[in-house]
Amino acid sequence: MKERPATIRFDSVSKSFGSRKVLDSLSLEIPRGKAYCILGRSGTGKSVTLKLMIGLLQPDSGQIYIGDRQISGMDSQDLAAVRKDMGFLFQNSALFDSISVGENVAFPLRRNGDDSEDEIREKVERTLEQLGLEKEYDKMPSELSGGMRKRAGLARVLVYEPSILLVDEPSAGLDPITSAEIDELLLNLKAENKVTLVVVTHNIPSARRIGDQLVMLRDGKIAAQGSPEDLEQSDDEFVSHFMTAQGGG
């Protein structure tokens, strides 16, 4: 298993789109091996926060650290080196639709690894089997259901064993059973591989299952942070209401 690096740290990070300020001097630290769930109403900057963590967006001000490396303003080659140890599961999986599921999963190994074709094939088959997709190797992404696409996206990330996994809305568009299966996969990852998990979700039951800590964003700042129980008992009416509004309590 790889050595686990990295905490993730935001120091006074701000980000605006046009005149709309999405993050306002946000500071946050996520220790290694922990699972953090980021909550909040739509448009409060949850996905932006994830994209800032992996350098897909650059902050207007403030610093972002992965381990001891400051990634904001980093050049593309150094950023690529940092990203090799991070995984990002997109809301709609973002599978490459011109290649098969197996080729999608093999893609990061071919690009960034030095494994032989036989080793790549073996790793891809093993990862697909772990996720119950062993029969889908040769299928195209368009032939998969929503849940299968999500698992295939997860397989593409897990195959290279990142130490940090960023997950955007794992439950979006999935039925409750498939959603719970994805949660279980994420929990296993954290328990067995000591992966640092950052999950953006609207699904409170899912956040309660996965998260060691929940972070609630409001108006570009952290409105509340703590265990699920802490947030439910918050004096802030917005926070406690948000936690119970979806039957989370």
Binding site for another protein (CB under 8 A): 51, 54-56, 76, 80-81, 83-84, 86-88, 90-92, 94-98, 107-108, 111-112, 156
CB of 243 to another protein, least distance (A): 29
- Both tokens of 249, joined, read 């309590």
Cα–Cα separations (whole angstroms), residue 14 to 74, 105, 123: 17, 34, 40
Contact between residue 105 and residue 144 where contact means Cβ atoms under 8 Å apart? no
- Comparing CB distances to another protein, the nearer of 186 and 204 is 186
In a 10 Å sphere around its CB, with 0-12 CB exposed, 13-18 middle and 19+ buried, how is residue 77 labelled?
exposed
Q: How far apart are the first and last CA of the chain?
A: 37
- Comparing CB distances to another protein, the nearer of 19 and 77 is 77
CB of 56 to another protein, least distance (A): 5
- Cβ-Cβ contacts under 8 Å for 75 (sequence gap 6 or more): none
- Comparing CB distances to another protein, the nearer of 14 and 91 is 91
CB of 172 to another protein, least distance (A): 13
Axis-axis angle for helices 176-193, 146-158 (nearest 10): 10
CB of 200 to another protein, least distance (A): 14
State the Cα–Cα distance between residues 151 and 233, nearest whole angstrom.
Answer: 34
* Number of neighbouring beta carbons within 10 Å of residue 138: 10
CB of 238 to another protein, least distance (A): 30
- Comparing CB distances to another protein, the nearer of 36 and 107 is 107
- Comparing CB distances to another protein, the nearer of 19 and 76 is 76
State the Cα–Cα distance between residues 159 and 119, nearest whole angstrom.
Answer: 12
CB of 93 to another protein, least distance (A): 9
Beta bridge partners of residue 37, listed in sequence order: 199, 214
- Comparing CB distances to another protein, the nearer of 94 and 140 is 94
State the Cα–Cα distance between residues 53 and 59, nearest whole angstrom.
Answer: 10
